[in-house]
Amino acid sequence: MATTDEPFTDRESAGVALGEALCKCRLTAPVVVLGLPRGGVPVAFQVAAALQAPLDVMVVRKVGAPGQPEFAIGAIASGDVTVREPYAPAYLATDARFEQLAQRERLELARREHAYRLGLAPLALAGRTVVLVDDGVATGCTMLAAIRAARKGGAARVVAAAPVASDEAAALIGNEADEIVFLNIPPYLQAISLWYRDFGQTSDEEVCDLLARSRMRAAAKVD
């Protein structure tokens, strides 16, 4: 799917466009939208608004190679889910080294779970259509971990969505998700940031604020 060759203004505008595309998919209710922190949450906030669905986070963490933290050799997600990058050179991390690196990321994952939810229980996924949203999918490793965590949580159907994804990631995710909605799949994805005019870092405070605003929106709808 390709909607434009022009970069999005910011994550908010990308989320609006993604929400419009997802509204056309006729997703089976009930629907839950989960943003992948941090950058995926501003996109997911707009998607949840478009779908009139509750918003939560699916906390995932990339496991970077020793000495090359930006080079993903795997990922972890809530629910004790671990994914190893199948194409990562074996010499970059032995099993023992990978586990050491993954354990460090688990500590950060637990911190974020606590910080974002403020003691609230995660939304129930069992029997629901779960829409996983990120601001971009490069290797697909973290999205893959999120999909498997959603399945483990009992999701009836899993939809992976993002404004942009690499063709390799789209193929990988397409084999695991029930449906993928990627607005742009360029033949060569140099960097996700190039698809945004404003790609500033999303803070923990922004994530918490968006989740709180979504809960308020849901409460107002009930009233």
- What pLDDT was estimated at residue 57? 97
* Secondary structure of residue 54 in the 3-state scheme: coil
- pLDDT category, 197, cuts 50, 70, 90? very high
pTM: 0.93
Q: For domain 11-57+123-222, give the fold.
A: Rossmann fold (3.40.50)
Of 29, 31, 80, 57, nearest in space to 133 by CA:
57
How many residues are given for the chain? 223
Does residue 2 carry a pLDDT above 80? no
Could you report the per-residue pLDDT of 120-156, keeping only the tens digit for each?
889 999 999 999 999 999 989 999 999 999 999 999 9
Question: From its phi and psi, is residue 80 left (phi > 0), alpha (psi between -120 and 50) or beta?
Answer: left
Domain boundaries, the chain: 11-57+123-222
- What pLDDT was estimated at residue 70? 75
CA atoms within a 13 Å half-sphere pointing along the CA-CB vector of 208: 12
Q: Round to whole Å and give the CA distance between 105 and 143.
A: 16
DSSP 8-state symbol, 10: S
Q: Round to whole Å and give the CA distance between 35 and 170.
A: 18
- What pLDDT was estimated at residue 47? 98
Q: Round to whole Å and give the CA distance between 112 and 177.
A: 25
Does residue 205 carry a pLDDT above 60? yes
Could you report the per-residue pLDDT of 10-50, keeping only the tens digit for each?
999 999 999 999 999 999 999 999 999 999 999 999 999 99
In this prediction, what percent of the chain has a pLDDT beyond 70?
Answer: 93
Neighbours of 120 (CB within 10 A): 10
